[in-house]
Amino acid sequence: MFTGAMVALVTPFQDGDIDFQTLDELIDFQLENSIDAIVPVGTTGESPTLSHDEHKQVIERVVKAVGGQVPVIAGAGSNSTAEAIELTAFSKTVGADATLQVGPYYNKPTQEGFYQHFKAIAEEVDLPIVLYNIPGRCGAGMTPETIARLAEIENIVAVKEATGSLDQASEIAMRCDITIISGDDSLTLPLASVGGKGVISVVANIVPTDVKAMTDLILEGDLASARQWHKKLFALSKNLLTLATNPIPIKAAMAILDMCSAELRLPMTPLEESKTAVLEQTLKDYGLL
C-alpha cells in the first residue's frame, strides 16, 4: 500500500468553488494510468485554504470515486492534535485506507511534541499513518531519532521524506525499518539508493505512467534502468517545484494541458507570465505539447 507511484492530487477549482466534476475526471485519469495510490488534500491539494467541510468533502469524494481500486491516503494532518484526530477519524469513517500526517506547522513543537502528537493520533484512530516530514513548510522537522521512536507504534507505517537530505533518509533507514517515501520528485531515485520505496508525486498529476515506470523499476531493484526515467523526468519535476511554490506550477501545467483550471486560492497567486513561458517550453521538451 505504501510503495510505488502515489499521486499528490491537486484540488481543482472553478469560480472559487471545488470543481468536483473535474476532480472525478482527474481520478479516472490516474486510475486509467495504473497509479499505485491517490493522496488527496495534501500540500498539492491546497489543504490550507480549504474549509474543514470542503476538506472532508474532497476525502469522501475521492474515496467514493476510487471505489477501492487503489489505496487512498487522505491528507488529515494539522498543527492542532485534536483537529488531526478529528480529520483522521472522519477519513476512517468514509473508507480511506490510510492518512498522511504533516508535521505540526507554525507552532514548532519540540521533538517530544512531535512524538506525542503523532502517537496521540495513532492511538486514537486505528488507521495506518504516513508521517510527512517537511521542515521547509512547517518551520520545524523531525529528527531520525524521533521518526525511529514513532516507527515502534504499530500503525505508523511510512514516512514521506521532504527534507532533501539523503543523510537524513540514510539515518532513518539505519535506525528502523519504516517505509521511506520521497516527497520530492527529483529525489525519488537518489532516495531509492538509500532505501526509498517510491514517491508521493506532484509530477504524476500529468505523467503518472512515467512516474510509475520509474518506481516499478526501483521496486524491482533495477536502479540502472530507473536512471533513464529519472533523467527524462528531472527537468520537468524540478521546474514544477522551483518556478514557484507548489502547487502553482503544477496547476499552470495542467491548465496548459487542458486538464483543469489554473485557479488557486489566495494567498496562492498565478504563475508569472515569464515563468509560464519557461514551463511551456519544459512541457514541449518533454513531449507533452
From the list 59, 28, 25, the residue with the least C-alpha distance to 42 is: 59
Asked if 278 contacts 239 with a C-beta cutoff of 8 angstroms, the reply is: yes
Is a pLDDT exceeding 90 seen at residue 1? no
Average pLDDT, the chain: 97
Listed by start position, the domains of the chain span 4-222
pLDDT in tens, 104-147: 999 999 999 999 999 999 999 999 999 999 999 899 999 999 99
Is a pLDDT exceeding 80 seen at residue 218? yes
Is a pLDDT exceeding 90 seen at residue 18? yes
pLDDT in tens, 161-208: 999 999 999 999 999 999 999 999 999 999 999 999 999 999 999 999
β pairing state of 17-18 and 13-14: antiparallel
Instruction: Identify the active-site residue in 115, 132, 212, 251.
Output: 132
Q: Is 160 a catalytic residue?
A: yes
Q: Is 106 a catalytic residue?
A: no
C-alpha distances in Å from residue 44, one per residue of 9, 67, 93, 194: 6, 22, 23, 26
Select from 1.10.10.60, 3.20.20.80, 3.20.20.70, 3.30.830.10 the CATH code of 4-222.
3.20.20.70
CA–CA gap between residue 221 and residue 141 (Å, rounded): 30
Task: Please report the pLDDT score of residue 283 as a whole number.
Answer: 98
Instruction: Identify the active-site residue in 56, 160, 197, 212.
Output: 160
Whole-model pTM: value is: 0.97
Asked if 39 contacts 208 with a C-beta cutoff of 8 angstroms, the reply is: no
Q: Take residue 103 and report the three cell numbers written for it.
A: 508535521
